C-alpha cells in the first residue's frame, strides 16, 4: 500500500533549512516509532519508507514522507499525525510542523491498474531530482543517471513491497532498458552530507523517452511514476533521491 504525508517545517530559531536535514529527521522519526516497528525496519534490506526535504525559502521547507506498505503507513501516521513540533538536537532547535496532508491509501494493485489499463501511456516522462541522487555500482558512486540505473533501482524497490504484481520478467525489463533513452537533461553535481561523509551525487531534471509496444510503454509509465513514492538510487530513507515526475 502506498501512502504519503506532506507537511511544512520551520526551525524555531530561524535556521535556513537544508535537504540534508532529511537524515536528521529520519533519526527523529525512528525515535518516535514503537520498538516493534523499529525491529521491522532493521529486518528490511530495502526500507519501506522514503522521505526528503524540499527547501521553500529561508524560513521553511516541505517534508514528504512516503510509506510503501501497510505496516510502515500505520506506524508513521500514528507518530506524526498529531505532532506539532520535533526537537532536533543536531540542528539545535525545535522544528515546528504545520499544514499536514495525509493521502488516501493506494494498493499496489490499484496503482498498477492506473497505468496498465488506464489512458494511453506516454513516451516521455520528466523526472525532477529534488534532493541529491546517487547510485552505487562496483563499490563506486555513479553521479550521472542512465536508464539502466534508474529502472533497476525502481524495480528493486517495487518488488520489495508490491503485493500481487512482481516485475520479475528479466527479458521484459532488459527490453525496456534497451528501448529507453535520456532525451534531455539539466543536471548539476551535488554533495549530500551524511554521517560526516560527503556522498557524490547530482540534482536536476532528466527526460526519459521510451519506444516500443503499448504494453512496454505502460510498464515504463508504471515504473517511473513509482519513483514519487520510492525515490531513486541509494539512501532514499535518509533524504536522498527525492523525486517528482511529470508528463505521464
The C-alpha cell that represents 41 in the structure block: 525496519
Cell of 96: 515546528
Measured CA to CA, the distance from residue 80 to residue 192 in angstroms comes to 25
What's the mean per-residue pLDDT of the chain? 92
| Spatial separation of the C-alpha atoms in residues 80 and 5, rounded to whole Å | 9
Bigger pLDDT: 20 or 164?
A: 20
Structure confidence by residue, pLDDT tens digits, 29-84: 988 887 777 777 777 778 899 999 999 988 899 999 999 998 899 999 999 988 99
User: If pLDDT is split at 50, 70 and 90, which confidence band does 248 have?
Assistant: low
Q: What pTM value is reported for the model?
A: 0.94
Q: What would the mean pLDDT of 161-175 be, rounded to a whole number?
A: 88
Q: What is the mean pLDDT of residues 204-219?
A: 94
Amino acid at each position: 500500500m502506498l501512502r504519503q504525508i506532506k507537511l511544512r517545517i520551520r526551525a524555531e530559531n530561524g535556521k535556513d533549512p537544508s535537504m540534508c536535514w532529511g537524515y536528521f529527521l529520519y533519526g527523529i522519526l525512528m525515535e518516535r516509532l514503537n520498538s516493534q516497528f523499529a525491529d521491522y525496519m532493521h529486518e528490511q534490506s530495502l526500507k519501506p519508507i522514503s522521505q526528503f526535504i524540499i527547501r521553500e525559502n529561508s524560513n521553511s521547507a516541505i517534508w514528504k514522507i512516503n510509506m510503501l506498505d501497510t505496516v510502515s503507513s500505520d506506524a508513521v501516521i500514528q507518530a506524526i499525525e498529531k505532532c506539532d513540533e520535533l526537537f532536533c538536537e543536531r540542528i539545535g532547535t525545535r522544528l515546528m510542523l504545520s499544514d499536514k496532508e495525509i493521502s488516501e491509501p493506494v494498493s499496489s494493485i490499484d496503482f498498477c491498474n492506473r497505468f496498465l489499463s488506464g489512458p494511453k501511456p506516454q513516451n516521455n516522462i520528466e523526472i525532477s531530482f529534488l534532493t541529491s541522487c546517487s547510485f552505487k555500482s562496483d563499490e563506486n558512486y555513479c553521479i550521472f543517471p542512465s536508464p539502466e540505473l534508474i529502472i533497476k533501482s525502481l524495480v528493486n524497490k517495487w518488488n520489495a513491497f508490491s503485493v500481487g504484481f512482481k516485475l520479475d520478467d528479466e527479458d521484459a525489463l532488459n527490453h525496456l532498458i534497451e528501448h529507453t533513452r535520456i532525451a534531455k537533461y539539466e543536471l548539476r553535481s551535488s554533495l549530500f552530507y551524511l554521517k560526516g561523509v560527503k556522498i557524490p551525487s547530482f540534482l536536476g531534471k532528466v527526460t526519459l523517452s521510451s519506444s516500443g509496444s503499448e504494453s512496454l510503454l505502460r510498464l515504463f509509465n508504471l515504473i517511473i511514476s513509482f519513483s514519487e513514492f520510492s525515490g531513486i538510487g541509494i539512501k532514499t530513507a535518509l533524504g536522498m533521491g527525492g523525486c517528482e515526475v511529470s508528463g505521464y
